[in-house]
């Protein structure tokens, strides 16, 4: 087979648009993911207030609690930006600190979600109880899964950086992880607004 | 994620073999992946064909008992699923793979390993979807799987589980392919190939890829919800828990109508390449054909409820969707006129590829007209769930998509393999398929208008449906014979010496400028593109009479500049081979299958998936 004689890192291929292939891929993936969350949110909205039995949204939601965890997740977008700016400056120590901080804030959010789910279950709301339980757990659960994947990506980069194997020239990796992370945050803003802040009374009783 | 430099453990090193079976397993070459797509998809096409012929044999005579109603339900469900997800879509993907990089003057796709991953995930997903024939039972609720036929009490056993998990896996493969080809077409074009100089097939692939990327997530969510209902007892589509079965229909058709264009646009792209080549004229109205393709891509999202006219959504919804549906016939009609005008006044050469392209136009017009007839809700209320609909979809999907794909097979076979298919056998294949197709599906129009419902496993002789059903069955056997002729043609051709010249049809686009089959790096020098139909303009100039004249050999051609700078093949950098696409695909498929089998299998699948992802991320760019 044909291969270059030596370079492990071939010169970056020039693209037609000038946009890096992987960055374009990430944007298109996020567009696709919009359709994914869009369909889940549409399902939630269609079934909102149509549960046959309780518990209903207003009986189990703890808005202040969830607001705090939403705030934690939003702050993680800030630390993500700081991580990217650190690697752009070549500050690998800063990169590691902020990567870890972002992953930590994400973990607090997911932990908070786990605790919230447990509370709901204790109050009698499960996947099977009613439409509210079904749609709530599946929608927020898939968002939580996205955050978890993000945490794994961030920790992986942290480990690679900690072993000194991430070079400042490879900042695109952090940029792409950041794109994903911010997207997942934005999706939470939508879910938080739609699910928690604009809950409607149940109309089927 | 990037390859990370440094000393690497042995298992992370890239494979170096390119020969033998193993070379195919670890390949990332778009041409080889395309061939694997083509062969696998054609095998599934034969499976779907056997299912179809079995159903026709059952329906040949009234009160027949060849198969029982339960088997019949599984047959028609799996026939549709196989033909749509395992034959037409991957056959189109085979052409995307083999042709797109060649048409845009690239050395490979943007993400070669992702491309290999798409193929392996498709293969495993196809096997999972078909596993019901061997283990348990196959899905039997139609390819649309209307709720609540699909919930536990109405679909006991494993049938719908294979549906949910098989389609989820296949959807992943389609999305991965969609991502890859969007990026490839947007970002990997040769210098000078602007959007409006792209070959029509490349254009239609771009639109199809966008549809894949945006439509598959919708069916993914629908399948996840159905999966939760079946595996976790949730209420999404269960009326007894407050769920609304109509939600499934909406989600399914929001995906399902764009899916229709995913099935037909690649064939339209192929025909738009074949007709100009064999008419020796440029495509008539190129910008209009491109724009109508893009317009179809957008409008395809605004018509889904025409599949639900009889659900009772109300007059306003029905009227709206009737209007949008009739409207979307316009860009399709524009394309048909452009194809006819392309042939008009051309010096037409009736090669097999051209015959299939013309057959496509004829049959697609018939299917399109019957389609417009059920764009009207009152007419649709009569036709709904009758054989009229079966006739319609087979005119557009068999007469349309499959004829278009066969046209592409005869057209590009020499480019992909170096072998020219036999023209005589090809023409026999065409005429048998064309006549067989009309004998099979034309009578279904009358049967449907006479009230024969779809999906019934038998009928009484006093209904007056005996004669045309027997005719349709005879036609289906003719189609089967035509397919055997094609297989024989491929088989005998492949045993002969490679005899295909680089440019057997006097082609117009860049893939004909390189040898057949192309070298692994495709283009020794990346070409510069100065016009639409780039290769044609390298070969011909317009004479004073307005007719094309060959460029004198050795004559100055600005178009072949850069030859001095041709790279030595040994300096061309090609992506390294990789084990990880197949490992990752195996992990994903195992995770899905495990949901049916045991939690331990899921755990194993997830572990393999992680191993695949990390190996993928950390393997070096080249063998060391
Ligand atoms: Cu439709």
3-state secondary structure of B540: strand
In chain B, residues under CATH classification 1.20.210.10 are 27-576
Task: Tell if the CB–CB gap between A35 and B623 is shorter than 8 Å.
Answer: no
What's the rounded mean pLDDT across residues B474-499?
Answer: 95
**Chain B residue with minimal CA distance to A51?**
B242
Question: Using one digit for the tens of pLDDT, what is the confidence trace for B139-171?
Answer: 999 999 998 899 878 888 889 999 999 999 999
B194 in A contact zone (CB under 8 Å): no
Q: What is the nearest CA distance from B606 to chain A, expressed in angstroms?
A: 13
Is residue B583 scored above 70 in pLDDT?
A: yes
Instruction: Say what the pLDDT of residue B546 is.
Output: 67
A85 in B contact zone (CB under 8 Å): no
- Give me A102's structure tokens: 């972002």
Is residue B558 scored above 80 in pLDDT?
A: no
Is residue B562 scored above 60 in pLDDT?
A: no
Question: Using one digit for the tens of pLDDT, what is the confidence trace for B97-147?
Answer: 999 999 999 999 999 999 999 999 999 999 999 999 999 899 999 999 998
3-state secondary structure of B198: coil
Nearest-by-Cβ selection for A2 from B218, B233, B570: B570
Q: How many CB atoms lie within 10 A of CB B154?
A: 11
Task: Tell if the CB–CB gap between A9 and B621 is shorter than 8 Å.
Answer: yes
Instruction: Using CB atoms within 10 Å of the CB of residue B11, give its burial: 0 to 12 exposed, 13 to 18 middle, 19+ buried.
Output: exposed
Gap between the Cα atoms of A81 and A85, Å rounded: 6
Provide the pLDDT confidence category of residue B410 given band limits of 50, 70 and 90: very high
Q: Which CATH number fits domain A21-196: 1.10.10.10, 3.10.290.10, 3.30.70.2660, 1.20.120.80?
A: 1.20.120.80
Chain A residue numbers with beta carbons less than 8 Å from the beta carbon of B607 are none
Q: Whole-model pTM above 0.95?
A: no
Contact A161, A92 (CB under 8 A): yes
Q: Which fold has domain B27-576?
A: Cytochrome C Oxidase; Chain A (1.20.210)
Instruction: Say what the pLDDT of residue B563 is.
Output: 44
Interface test with B, best of A18, A28, A149 (most B CBs within 10 A): A28
The mean pLDDT value of chain B amounts to 91
CA B466 to chain centre: 34
CA B80 to chain centre: 13
Instruction: Say what the pLDDT of residue B573 is.
Output: 74
Question: Using one digit for the tens of pLDDT, what is the confidence trace for B393-407?
Answer: 999 999 999 999 999
Instruction: Say what the pLDDT of residue B593 is.
Output: 93
Instruction: Say what the pLDDT of residue B5 is.
Output: 43
Question: Using one digit for the tens of pLDDT, what is the confidence trace for B309-347?
Answer: 999 999 999 999 999 999 998 999 999 999 999 999 888
Residue with tokens 């549960």: A51
Is residue B76 scored above 60 in pLDDT?
A: yes
Report chain B's terminal Cα–Cα distance, integer Å.
19
Q: How far, CA to CA in Å, does A162 sit from each of A92, A96, A176? A: 9, 7, 19
B573 in A contact zone (CB under 8 Å): yes
Instruction: Say what the pLDDT of residue B131 is.
Output: 94
Instruction: Say what the pLDDT of residue B15 is.
Output: 74
Q: Tens of pLDDT along chain A (205 residues)?
A: 333 333 334 444 578 888 999 999 999 999 999 999 999 999 999 999 888 888 888 889 999 999 999 999 999 999 999 999 999 999 999 999 999 999 999 999 999 999 999 999 999 999 999 999 999 999 999 999 999 999 999 999 999 999 988 888 999 999 999 999 999 999 999 999 999 988 777 665 4
Q: Where is mean pLDDT largest: A35-39, B1-5, B518-522?
A: A35-39
Chain A residue numbers with beta carbons less than 8 Å from the beta carbon of B178 are 32
Instruction: Say what the pLDDT of residue B155 is.
Output: 87
| Domain definitions of chain A by residue range | 21-196
pLDDT greater at residue B568 or residue B178:
B178
Q: What is the nearest CA distance from A205 to chain B, expressed in angstroms?
A: 11
Contact B162, B136 (CB under 8 A): yes
Q: What is the nearest CA distance from B182 to chain A, expressed in angstroms?
A: 8
Q: How many CB atoms lie within 10 A of CB A165?
A: 14
Task: Tell if the CB–CB gap between A138 and B224 is shorter than 8 Å.
Answer: yes
What's the rounded mean pLDDT across residues B278-284?
Answer: 93
Q: What is the nearest CA distance from B83 to chain A, expressed in angstroms?
A: 25
What is the DSSP secondary structure assignment for residue B453, as one 8-state letter? B
Distance B468 CA to ligand 1 centre (A): 27
Please give the helix or strand (H or E) that residue B113 lies within, else none.
helix B112-130
Question: Using one digit for the tens of pLDDT, what is the confidence trace for B178-192?
Answer: 999 999 999 999 999
What's the rounded mean pLDDT across residues B4-17?
Answer: 62
Provide the pLDDT confidence category of residue B534 given band limits of 50, 70 and 90: confident
Instruction: Say what the pLDDT of residue B37 is.
Output: 96
What's the rounded mean pLDDT across residues B441-459?
Answer: 95
Interface test with A, best of B7, B147, B190, B217 (most A CBs within 10 A): B217
Query: Could you tell me if residue B266 is left (phi over 0), alpha (psi between -120 and 50 degrees) or otherwise beta?
Result: alpha
Specify the range with the lowest mean pLDDT, choosing from A186-200, B255-269, B356-370, B528-542: B528-542
Question: Using one digit for the tens of pLDDT, what is the confidence trace for B610-622?
Answer: 999 998 888 877 6
B288 in A contact zone (CB under 8 Å): no
């Amino acid at each position: 087979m044909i291969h270059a004689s030596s370079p492990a890192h071939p010169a970056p291929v020039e693209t037609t648009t000038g946009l890096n292939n992987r960055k374009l891929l990430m944007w298109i993936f996020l567009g696709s993911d919009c359709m994914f969350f869009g369909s889940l949110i549409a399902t939630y909205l269609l079934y909102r207030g149509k549960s046959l039995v309780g518990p209903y949204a207003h009986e189990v939601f703890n808005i202040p609690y969830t607001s705090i965890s939403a705030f934690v997740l939003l702050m993680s977008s800030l630390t993500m930006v700081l991580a990217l700016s650190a690697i752009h400056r070549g500050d690998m120590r800063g990169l590691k600190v902020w990567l870890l901080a972002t992953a930590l804030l994400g973990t607090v959010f997911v932990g908070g979600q786990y605790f919230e789910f447990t509370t709901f279950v204790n109050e009698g709301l499960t996947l099977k109880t009613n439409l509210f339980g079904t749609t709530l757990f599946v929608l927020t659960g898939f968002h939580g899964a996205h955050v978890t994947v993000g945490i794994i990506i961030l920790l992986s980069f942290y480990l690679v950086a900690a072993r000194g194997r991430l070079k400042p020239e490879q900042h695109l990796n952090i940029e792409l992880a950041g794109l994903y992370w911010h997207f997942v945050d934005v999706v939470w803003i939508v879910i938080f607004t739609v699910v928690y802040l604009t809950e409607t009374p149940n109309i089927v009783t | 994620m990037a390859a990370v430099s440094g000393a690497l453990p042995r298992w992370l090193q890239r494979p170096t073999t390119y020969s033998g079976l193993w070379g195919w397993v670890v390949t990332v070459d778009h041409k080889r992946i395309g061939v694997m797509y083509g062969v696998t998809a054609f095998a599934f096409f034969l499976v779907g064909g056997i299912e179809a012929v079995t159903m026709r044999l059952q329906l040949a005579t009234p009160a027949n008992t060849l198969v029982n109603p339960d088997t019949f339900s599984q047959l028609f469900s799996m026939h549709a699923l196989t033909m749509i997800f395992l034959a037409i879509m991957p056959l189109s993907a085979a052409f995307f793979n083999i042709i797109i990089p060649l048409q845009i003057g690239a050395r490979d796709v943007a993400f070669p390993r992702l491309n290999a991953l798409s193929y392996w995930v498709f293969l495993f997903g196809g096997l999972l979807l078909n596993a019901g024939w061997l283990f348990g039972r196959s899905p039997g609720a139609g390819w649309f799987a209307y709720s609540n036929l699909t919930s536990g009490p109405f679909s006991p056993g494993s049938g719908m589980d294979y549906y949910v998990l098989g389609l989820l896996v296949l959807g992943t493969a389609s999305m991965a392919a969609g991502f890859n080809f969007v990026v490839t077409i947007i970002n990997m074009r040769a210098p000078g190939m602007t959007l409006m100089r792209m070959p029509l097939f490349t254009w239609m692939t771009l639109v199809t890829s966008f549809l894949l990327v945006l439509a598959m997530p919708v069916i993914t969510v629908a399948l996840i919800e159905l999966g939760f209902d079946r595996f976790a007892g949730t209420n999404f589509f269960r009326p007894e828990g407050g769920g609304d079965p109509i939600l499934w229909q909406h989600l399914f058709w929001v995906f399902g109508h764009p899916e229709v264009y995913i099935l037909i646009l690649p064939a339209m792209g192929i025909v738009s390449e074949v007709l100009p080549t064999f008419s020796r004229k440029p495509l008539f109205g190129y910008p209009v054909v491109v724009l109508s393709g893009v317009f179809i891509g957008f409008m395809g999202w605004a018509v889904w409820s025409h599949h639900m006219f009889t659900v009772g959504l109300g007059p306003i919804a029905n009227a709206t969707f009737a209007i949008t549906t009739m409207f979307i016939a316009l860009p399709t009609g524009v394309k048909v006129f452009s194809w006819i005008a392309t042939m008009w006044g051309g010096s037409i050469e009736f090669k097999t590829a051209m015959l299939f392209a013309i057959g496509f136009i004829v049959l697609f017009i018939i299917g399109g007209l019957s389609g417009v007839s059920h764009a009207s809700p009152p007419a649709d209320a009569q036709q709904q769930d009758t054989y009229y609909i079966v006739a319609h979809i087979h005119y557009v999907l068999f007469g349309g998509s499959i004829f278009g794909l066969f046209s592409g097979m005869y057209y590009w076979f020499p480019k992909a393999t170096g072998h020219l298919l036999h023209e005589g056998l090809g023409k026999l294949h065409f005429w048998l398929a064309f006549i067989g197709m009309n004998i099979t599906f034309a009578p279904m129009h009358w049967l449907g208008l006479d009230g024969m419902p779809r999906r019934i496993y038998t009928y009484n002789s006093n209904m007056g449906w005996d004669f045309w059903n027997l005719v349709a069955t005879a036609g289906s056997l003719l189609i089967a014979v035509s397919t055997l002729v094609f297989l024989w043609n491929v088989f005998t051709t492949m045993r002969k010496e490679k005899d295909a010249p680089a440019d057997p049809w006097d082609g117009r686009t860049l893939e004909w400028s390189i040898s057949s089959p192309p070298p692994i790096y495709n283009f020794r020098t990346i070409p510069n593109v100065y016009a639409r139909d780039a290769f044609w303009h390298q070969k011909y100039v317009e004479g004073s009479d307005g007719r094309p004249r060959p460029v004198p050999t050795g004559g100055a051609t600005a178009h072949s500049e850069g030859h001095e700078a041709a790279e030595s093949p040994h300096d061309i950098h090609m992506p390294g081979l990789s084990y990880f696409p197949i490992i990752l695909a195996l992990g994903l498929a195992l995770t899905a299958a495990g949901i049916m089998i045991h939690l331990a299998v899921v755990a194993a699948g997830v572990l393999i998936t992680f191993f695949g992802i990390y190996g993928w991320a950390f393997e070096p760019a080249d063998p060391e």
